[in-house]
A = this chain, B = another copy of it.
Amino acid sequence: MELTKTEEDYLKALFHLTEESEADKAGTNQLAEYLGISPASANNMLKKLKGKALVAYEKYGKLELTGQGKAVAVRLIRKHRLWETFLHQHMNFSWDEVHGVAEQLEHIQSPKLIAELDRFLGFPRRDPHGAVIPGADGEYDTPPKATLSSLQAGDACRLVAVDDSSEALLRYVSRIGLALNSRIQVEEIHEFDGSLSILVEGVLTMVSKQFADRVFVEKL
């Protein structure tokens, strides 16, 4: 039972909204908003996906992926992140350029190609944004991630991942001299708005709380 590119994108969106965001409830409007389509279109597709046993929900109720639906989404995320890694490491794509093309490449149907790509890349476990790449067996552990905003003044940390949903954020992270594994020293947290003064490569920079909420670190 082959799925269309569109059906795949809906399942991936649902996975992000239910399994990967803190608010693990997802509604029709939210899904529509996320995908940039009308609620009516989302509702229409949800009916179809329910018919294929990929999504489970009652009329006016909460949306959930079935086990099958989740499996499809995880496979898609695996492909997406492997392609992003390829584009970044071998095609000279910058951090913020990889996502759009990977959004297309993730729909290529060829188990052999994915297996070979994985091997070619040296079985990477993280994509260019630091996100975990699901295994070939569907294993997908999301290690607990601490945000930069959760640290205290005086703490030091290592940048392990960045929210990849905004290209502007990715460009900004590079602009201020950060990259995966950069060491960050929290100098001061300003109570007024939660902004932080951080030390990166010896340079003192000021970042907003919105920024610090989307950057994930490992405390040192």
Q: State whether A91 touches B117 (Cβ < 8 A).
A: yes
Q: Quick one: CB contact mask for A100-138 with B, threshold 8 Å, 1 for yes?
A: 110011001110110011001000000000000000000
B92, B112, B113: the one contacting A116 at CB < 8 Å is: B92
Q: Check B113–A108 contact: CB distance below 8 A.
A: no
Q: Is A159 at the interface (CB under 8 A from chain B)?
A: no
In the complex, whether A93 has a CB less than 8 A from a CB of chain B is yes
A90 to chain B, nearest CB (A): 6
| Interface hits, A11-34 → B, CB 8 Å | none
Residues in B whose Cβ lies below 8 Å from that of A117: 91
Among B97, B100, B112, the residue within 8 A (CB) of A93 is: B112
Q: Which residues of B have CB within 8 Å of A100? A: 110
Partner of A91, one of B92, B93, B109, B116: B116
Question: Counting CB contacts under 8 A, is A189 at the interface?
Answer: no
A186 nearest CB across to chain B (Å): 37
A196 at the interface (CB under 8 A from B): no
A73 to chain B: which residues have CB within 8 Å?
A: none
A87 CB within 8 Å of chain B: yes
Q: Which residues of chain A from 68 to 116 have a CB within 8 Å of any chain B CB?
A: 87, 90-93, 97, 100-101, 104-105, 108-110, 112-113, 116
Can you report 21 A-B residue pairs in the complex whose CB atoms are below 8 A from each other? Answer: A87-B113, A90-B116, A90-B120, A91-B112, A91-B113, A91-B116, A91-B117, A91-B120, A92-B116, A93-B112, A93-B113, A93-B116, A97-B112, A100-B110, A101-B108, A101-B110, A101-B113, A104-B108, A104-B109, A104-B110, A105-B108
